[in-house]
Amino acid sequence: MQATFKESDIQSLLTKVKIFNHQIGSYERFTINDAFQYVVKLSNGTIFFTLEELDANATETLNLEMLTSITRRFTPTVTAENAQHPVKESPVASKMNTGTAHSIAKESSGKGIVLVIALILVGLAIGALVFFLLVSNSADRYSDPEIYQQRFQTEDGESYFKPKTTVQKRLQNNSNY
């Protein structure tokens, strides 16, 4: 496979990643593995970059989450000296990881609450509109003089209107011509 990213592209991204973990060593060489990842040999270990990350770096769309994710992939070389004093994660990277995760959780829960409130308001608005339309249509139905022909009174003394039937309306409309 032909490399689409140059050594300068890899070193550019490596420089940005070193900001989050000062224990990452200096660049020596790179290779591309079967998963099309750029595996970088460092003076004190290895790290790998994905094509998407290198592309994001080239187009300047690389974000904080990508950088901290890359930082966690640093694998230090184990030597006799390192075995006695294991390499710890940089405090900068660990602070960034917890802060980012916490702010994302706050942001997503805030968006969820706003979404639920918006859906409730839309539901109430639709319900009010339907109620208004039903009430206004029923009021028109009972006040239209064309629908009710006569007023009748029951034995109890209650009055009601007898509606015209559809056939009566059609006959009445035809007789007008």
Report for 92-96, 102-106, 157-161: range of highest mean pLDDT: 157-161
14 pLDDT band, cuts 50/70/90, is very high
CB neighbour list of residue 18: distance below 8 Å, 6 or more residues apart: 24
Share of the chain above pLDDT 90, in %: 34
How confident is the model at residue 162, as a pLDDT?
61
160 pLDDT band, cuts 50/70/90, is low
How confident is the model at residue 70, as a pLDDT?
92
Q: Who wins on pLDDT, 97 or 137?
A: 137
How far apart are alpha carbons 40 and 26 in whole angstroms? Answer: 10
Q: What average pLDDT does this structure show over 120-138? A: 86
How confident is the model at residue 43, as a pLDDT?
92
What tens digit of pLDDT does each residue of 25-69 get? 999 999 999 988 999 999 999 999 999 999 999 898 989 999 999
Distance of CA 163 to the CA centre of its chain: 56
Three-class secondary structure of residue 30 per DSSP: strand
How confident is the model at residue 101, as a pLDDT?
47
112 pLDDT band, cuts 50/70/90, is confident
Share of the chain above pLDDT 70, in %: 60
For residue 105, pLDDT beyond 80: no
How confident is the model at residue 176, as a pLDDT?
56
How far apart are alpha carbons 147 and 174 in whole angstroms? Answer: 17
CB neighbour list of residue 114: distance below 8 Å, 6 or more residues apart: none
How far apart are alpha carbons 126 and 133 in whole angstroms? Answer: 11
Q: Which two three-digit tokens encode residue 60?
A: 């300047």
Q: What average pLDDT does this structure show over 89-113? A: 55
Q: What average pLDDT does this structure show over 90-105? A: 48
Per-chain mean pLDDT for the chain: 76
